Each structure stands twice: as C-alpha cells, then as structure tokens.
Structure 1
Amino acid sequence: MYHRIHLYRGNGPMSKRTNVSPQTFSTQMHWLADHGYSAVTLDAMVKILHGDEVGPAKPMVITFDDGYRSQLEQAVPVLRQLHQAAVFYSITGHIPHPDFMHRNELRALSDEGMQIEAHTVHHDDLRTISKQQQIKELTESKAAIEAITGKPVLHFAYPDGGFTHSISARVGSLGYVTATTINSGFATPQSNLLELPRIWMMERTDMGKTFGN
C-alpha cells in the first residue's frame, strides 16, 4: 500500500508513513520483480485465492490510496517499465483538486489496464458517520468511478483503515467484492475478502525482512 510518491522532508509520523520517494519506490518495485513477484489485478487475485485461477508463483497486488497526482507522475512510469498492473483507490470528491488525478487521467489509466476503484467521496472514517452517510459515501463514489471508467467498480479501500464487521458486511451488500484495510499482513485463502490486510510500504521498509529472500 502506497500513498504519495515524492520526496518529503517533514518529520511528522504521518508524513513518514505516507510518503515514499520516487527513487525508493523504483528500488522497491525492482526488488520485488527481481525476487519473482508478479503484480495481478484484484479481480485475478480473488480467483487465485478461491482456487479458480492459477496465478504466478508469487502474486501480489500493488495498491495506491487517495489518487494523488504523484502516483501518476512518479509511480506509473516505473510500473509501465516493469509491466506491472496496480490498483488506484480514488477519493472522488478530490478529483478536481490539482494535487489529485483528474477524470481523464483516471480513465486513461483504466484504459491501459490499471484498476481504478473506490475510496469514498470525502475520505471520512466510516466508523465516525451514520449508516445513511456510509451508504451515500459507498454508493456515490462507486457510481462516480464507474461513470469515469465505464467499468464495474467492485473493490474498495477503507479511509484511514476504519471499519467494523458490520461496516464490512454493508460494503459487501452494496456490490463490492473486496475491501482493503490497513491491517498488516498477507492475504490467504482464509482471508475475509471484505477485510483484506495489506503491507504499508514506507521509505525505510526492509524488503528482505518484509517479503523474504
């Protein structure tokens, strides 16, 4: 899981967690490729986890939260070079903002095989808003992205990783197949598809320790 891909010199705890420099991102992607990891779409990963599809020896899903422009400018060229797919969870209410990817850019990424998926309209922690507001955030963001890409939106990322079992069940009832959290770990066939763990990638992530040699 990535957020901003740019060099940031702030010392706050969140800046260290949400910023990875372009050079480090490239190094991490090349490390994964050199060690046999292959990126697949979330659609493919669901089939692999269910045993309905034989995937590569080391399948992975590369995800980006929020839809920052730096992901397009700094991460996408590396992904293209390595022929790796990725998932971009877009906050639809932020699309007009200059720091975020716009509609035509999201559509172009979708057309080249990247997945554009939902991350709500306003990035509110779903645990802090009413059931009616949750439904509004989940349905409106889904519809907005489907209008942009012309493809079904089946995947969701919880803002700030905030969910409960009742919220994840609600997400599934609204047409989502998967939902990703910020809980650390690797997905397995036993994982709840609506509460999938991820690895939070940071500037100082130890690749060997995290992924093995």
Structure 2
Amino acid sequence: MYRIFIVEDDVKIGTILKKNMEKYGFEAVCVSQFRDMMPELEVYEPHLILLDINLPYFDGYYWCRQIRTRWNMPIIFLSARDGEMDQVMAIENGGDDYITKPIQLDLLMAKIKSLIRRVYGEYAAMTGPVSTVRGMHEGRLDAQGLLLHLGRNEMEWLGQKVELTKNERLLAESLMQHAGQIVSRELLLEALWDDVQFVDDNTLTVNVTRLRKKLELLGLPKAIETVRGQGYKLYLDEE
C-alpha cells in the first residue's frame, strides 16, 4: 500500500484529503509538527507528499528544499496561489506538480496515480517480455542485484551505496527497467523533462556522465554502454 504524507495546516482540508486518499486505497497521514516535520517524514517513509505553501513557521518552498536534501519521492504542491511565478517557484524548489485550491479531488487523484505509476515503475512493469521486467519491491527497483531505492535518491551494489540527484535517479530508473536493452535518447529525455523540445540534447549527455561516475564509485565503471546513434544500454557483468 502506497503511503501519502499530507502537509496541510487547515485541519478540515487535511481531513478531507486523508479520507479521500484512504477511499482510493492509499495509506495517509497528516503532519502534526509544523515546526519540524522531518522526524515524522523519516518514520513514515511516504511514497508521495502533498505540500501546502502557506504553513506555520516555514513555507512549503522551504520544506521542499529540506526534503530534497534527503529524499526524492514525488511532491505535489497544493496552494490557493494561482500565479505563474508561484508554480515556477514550486518546480524550481523541487516540486513535481502543482494544484490550486479549491482542490478538484478527481484531478488530484489522477495526478497522484500518474506520479506513483511513473516513479514506482508500474508503467514499465507492463511493457516488454517477462525476461526484461525489472524486479520491483515496495519502493525499490532491482536489476541483477543493482538496487535503486525509489523513495530516496540512493543506489546500492553489493552493500555499497551512493546518493543520486533527482535526474540521476530518473535516468537510473529508466535504464534499470530495460537492463540489457537499448534505451533511446528520446525516451530518456522524456523521463527527465517530459517535453523534449525544450531540452538541450547535450544536457542528457552531461547527466549520463554523472550517473556513470556514481556507478564507478560502486565498482561498475562500464555499466552504461553508449550505442552510437541509438541511445544507451545498462549492462551488468555478473562474472
């Protein structure tokens, strides 16, 4: 069962959101300590966060930045602010989506389900032959022993761990879901930014290079193979 962490200081709205999450089969909890919510997050380990902007003590932008220093689960901002700059700030501070109040619950649920399918691999698990489907456990992706902890930016190989940026984690997820297969540059660009026409192709090369360095730290210096004119392939030599 996927866990939703609700950060909303309006008790009525928080209660409505919690009941709606549970109605659709999610587990949900509302934050109780607005001065410092990090201990609650660490204990609850949510798969997704609903985050209001106007909060006591510190605003949602602040908390999103704090969360991103430790975790990489999806964050959807909820706010009565409907200005374009507010939405830009939400994304720049680490948010994944933005919904204005009054909240349309059907739209919110659609966005939550879409993010969870994308981040935790349900879409990928439905594609390709059985032999290529990566091992999925709750909050974790397993490709031939290489582990990607999806709820936080961390990769593990033979007991060693490295931290990843958001983009590195998204690239690793796409490559691991198709380990042994060529993943096109276009598919990787879409995984990172959704709209490839606004992305400099060189940016993907830079991010792949950074991921290669992280894999090298784990003892996998040749794990990502460049397939000229086609894309990249994750290959794990088990010898």
User: Which TM-score applies when normalising by structure 1?
Assistant: 0.32
Q: Which of structures 1 and 2 has the larger relative contact order (alpha carbons within 8 angstroms, sep 6+)?
A: 1
User: Which TM-score applies when normalising by structure 2?
Assistant: 0.29
More strand, by proportion = 2
Structure possessing the higher radius of gyration over alpha carbons: 2
